Amino acid sequence: MRHLIALLASVIAIVVGLITLLGLLVGDDLGFLSALVDAFRVRSLADVLLQLVMITVGVTILIGILNLLAVHLGRVVGRRRGWVYSLILVLSTLGVFGLTIAERARLVQTSPDSPAPSMVLFETVQVAVESSLAALVLFALVYGGYRLMRRGVTWKGMLFTAVLLVVLLGALPLQGEGLSLIGQVSRWLMAVPVSAGARGILLGIALATVITGVRVLTGQDRSYRE
Amino acid sequence: MTPEQIGLWAGLILSLMIFSYVLGDNFLYRLAIAVFVGLAAGYVTIVTVESVLMPWLNATLLTRESSVGERLLGIAPFILGLLLLVKASPGVGRLGNLALAFLIGVGAAVALVGALTGTLLPLAVSTGRMANLDLINGFLLVLGVISTLLYFHYLGRRLPGGEVRRALAIRFFGAIGEGFIVVALGALYAGAIITGLTIFSERLAFILSRVGGG
C-alpha cells in the first residue's frame, strides 16, 4: 500500500505538471505540438488544474487560520503563559468577522458616501500598524550596518559599507560639487555594477528554478513522497 | 466622533505601541502585534471566503444547472485540503502526499514557465542589449553577470589529499562575482534604509498631525 501511494504520488505530480507545462508554454505556432495540445484540450485542462490549485490553497489558508484560532483559544482556556495576547488576538479576529457579517446583513448603517466600517478599520488600524512595523525595520537596518565590521574588517565589509554610504549620500537632495560627484558615482553604481550583480543573482535563481522544475517533472525530485 | 476619527486615534495609539519596541521588547508592543495578527487573520479569512471560495462554490456546487462532473470538480479542492490536513496523522498521513504531489506538480510547472518567460529570457535579452551601449560599461555589465553566476558554481575536483577544489578560472571569476554581489547587496541595503526612512517620516508626520489636532 505504501509503495502504491508513493508511485501514485509520482504519477500525479508528473502528469499534472506536464499538462500544466504544455498548456502554459505551447503557443499556436509550434506545428504538430500545437495541434496535439489543441486536440487534447490541454490548455483548458491546465486552466482547470490551476483553478484547483488556487482553491486548494484558499482551503489550506482557511484551515491554517482555524488552527491559529484553535491554538490561541487553547492557550486562553488553559491560562497558559501569554494568554492575554492570545485573547486579544482571538477577539481581534472575531471582531473583524462580526463587523463584516453585520455589514453584509445590513445591521450596520452607513451613509452611501462614507466607506464601510470594516474598510475604515482596515485602512486606519491595519495599515497604520503595518507602516509602523515597516518603519521599525529602519532601526534594525541602521544598527545592523553599524555593527557590520565590529567582528573584523574585511574587504567585503569595507566594499559593502562604501557602496552603502555612496548610495545613501547620493540620495540626498543637496547641492555642491562633492555631493554632485557622489550623486554621479551613485547613479553609475546603480546602472552598472549593481545592475550586473542583481541580474546575475536573478538569473541564478531563475536557472535554479528551471532545474528544480525539470527535476520534479521528470520524477527525479520526489520530496512529496517523504 | 465618526468611525474614521476613532480608527485614526486607534491607529495612532497602536503606532506608538509598535514604536515602543525601540526601548526593548515590552507588553505594549506584544499587545499591538496580537491585535495586528488577529486583524490580519480576520481579513485574510474574509477575502479568501468572499473572493476565492464563494465564487468557486457558486460556479460549481451551488448552481442548480451544474452537472455531476462539475459538482465533483467543486468538491475536489476540499478533498485535497482534507488530505493535506490528515498529513500530520500517523495512520493515514501518507494519503496527504497525493495532495502534496498535485500541488507540487502544478507549482513546479508554473514556476518553470514563470522563470523561463518572466526572468531568464527577458533578462538575458536585455543584458545582451545593454552590453552594446558603450564598451567599458557593457564589458563590466557582462563580466558582472557571468562572474556572479560563476560564484555559485560549486563543482570541484577532489585532490589526492581529499580536499575538493574548484578550477583556478572559476575561483578567479568567482572572486570577481563575489565583489559584484557585495556591491549589489550594499546598494539594496541602502535602498531598504531609504524606504524605511521614508515610511518612518510618514509615520512621524501622522503622529504629529494627530497630536497637533491636524
| Grid cell locating B70 | 462539475
Å between A168 CA and nearest CA of chain B: 6
Å between A205 CA and nearest CA of chain B: 8
Q: Write out the DSSP string of B13-37.
A: HHHHHHHGGGG-S-HHHHHHHHHHH
A2: pLDDT confidence band, cut at 50, 70 and 90?
confident
Contacts of B21 in chain A (CB under 8 A): 136
Whether the CB-CB separation of B36 and A129 falls below 8 Å is answered with yes
The dihedrals phi and psi of B141, each to the nearest 5 degrees, come to: -65, -50
pLDDT given for residue B142 in this prediction: 92
Contacts of B206 in chain A (CB under 8 A): 128
> Which of A12, A132, A163 best probes binding to B when mutated, by most B CB atoms within 10 angstroms?
A132
CA distances from A212 to A49, A218, A219, B115 (A): 20, 10, 11, 11
| Grid cell locating B171 | 575561483
| DSSP conformational letter for B93 | G
Å between B179 CA and nearest CA of chain A: 7
| Grid cell locating B167 | 578550477
Q: Do A200 and B144 touch (CB under 8 A)?
A: yes
Contacts of B95 in chain A (CB under 8 A): 5
| DSSP conformational letter for B186 | H
CA distances from B152 to A20, A125, B145, B161, B175 (A): 30, 44, 12, 24, 11
Contacts of B31 in chain A (CB under 8 A): 84-85, 88
Count structural domains, chain A.
1
pLDDT given for residue B120 in this prediction: 93
Domain that holds residue A205: 148-215
ipTM of the complex: 0.85
pLDDT given for residue A112 in this prediction: 73
Cell 537596518, residue?
A141
pLDDT given for residue A79 in this prediction: 92
Q: How many CB pairs under 8 A join A and B?
A: 379
Low-confidence ranges of chain B (pLDDT < 70): 213-214
Cell 525595520, residue?
A137
Q: Is A17 left (phi over 0), alpha (psi -120 to 50) or beta?
A: alpha
As a whole number of angstroms, the distance between CA B149 and CA B169 comes to: 13
Pick from A129, A190, A217: CB nearest B108:
A217
Angle, CA of A43, A45 and A51, to the nearest 5°: 105
Check pLDDT > 80 for residue A109: no
pLDDT given for residue B214 in this prediction: 55
Q: Is B164 left (phi over 0), alpha (psi -120 to 50) or beta?
A: beta
Q: Which residues contact A94 (CB under 8 A, 6 or more apart)?
A: B42
A117: pLDDT confidence band, cut at 50, 70 and 90?
confident
Residue A191 covered by a domain? yes
Q: Do A93 and B41 touch (CB under 8 A)?
A: yes
Residue A68 covered by a domain? no
Q: Do A52 and B98 touch (CB under 8 A)?
A: no
Contacts of B81 in chain A (CB under 8 A): 56, 59-60, 62-63
Cell 468557486, residue?
B56
Query: What are the residues facing B158 on neighbouring strands?
Result: B164
> Which of A90, A149, A199, A202 best probes binding to B when mutated, by most B CB atoms within 10 angstroms?
A199
Three-state helix/strand/coil letters over chain A: CHHHHHHHHHHHHHHHHHHHHHHHHCCCCCCHHHHHHHHCCHHHHHHHHHHHHHHHHHHHHHHHHHHHHHHHHHHHHCCCCCHHHHHHHHHHHHHHHHHHHHHHCCCCCCCCCCCCHHHHHHHHHHHHHHHHHHHHHHHHHHHHHHHCCCCCCCHHHHHHHHHHHHHHHHCCCCCCHHHHHHHHHHHHHHHCHHHHHHHHHHHHHHHHHHHHHHHHHCCCCCHHHC
Q: Write out the DSSP string of B43-74.
A: HHHHHIIIIIIHHHHHHHTS-TT--HHHHHHH
Pick from A51, A96, A125: CB nearest B46:
A96
Residue A161 covered by a domain? yes
Residue of B nearest to A18 (CA): B109
Residue A90 covered by a domain? no
A146 versus B50: which is more confidently predicted? B50
Residue A127 covered by a domain? no
Check pLDDT > 80 for residue A100: yes
Residue A4 covered by a domain? no
pLDDT given for residue A198 in this prediction: 95
Residue A201 covered by a domain? yes
Q: Which residues contact A225 (CB under 8 A, 6 or more apart)?
A: A6, A9, A10, B97, B101
Q: Do A206 and B115 touch (CB under 8 A)?
A: yes
Q: Do A8 and B98 touch (CB under 8 A)?
A: yes
| Grid cell locating A29 | 505556432
As a whole number of angstroms, the distance between CA A136 and CA A202 comes to: 28
Q: Do A196 and B143 touch (CB under 8 A)?
A: yes
As a whole number of angstroms, the distance between CA B54 and CA A49 comes to: 18
Q: Do B41 and A69 touch (CB under 8 A)?
A: yes
Residue type at B75?
I
As a whole number of angstroms, the distance between CA B137 and CA B142 comes to: 9
Check pLDDT > 70 for residue A11: yes
As a whole number of angstroms, the distance between CA B172 and CA B167 comes to: 9
Residue A111 covered by a domain? no
| Grid cell locating B145 | 553577470
Check pLDDT > 70 for residue A67: yes
pLDDT in tens, A23-39: 999 887 878 888 888 88
As a whole number of angstroms, the distance between CA B188 and CA A74 comes to: 42
pLDDT given for residue A84 in this prediction: 96
CA atoms within 13 A on the CB side of A190: 17
First to last CA, chain A: 15
Q: Do B22 and A139 touch (CB under 8 A)?
A: yes
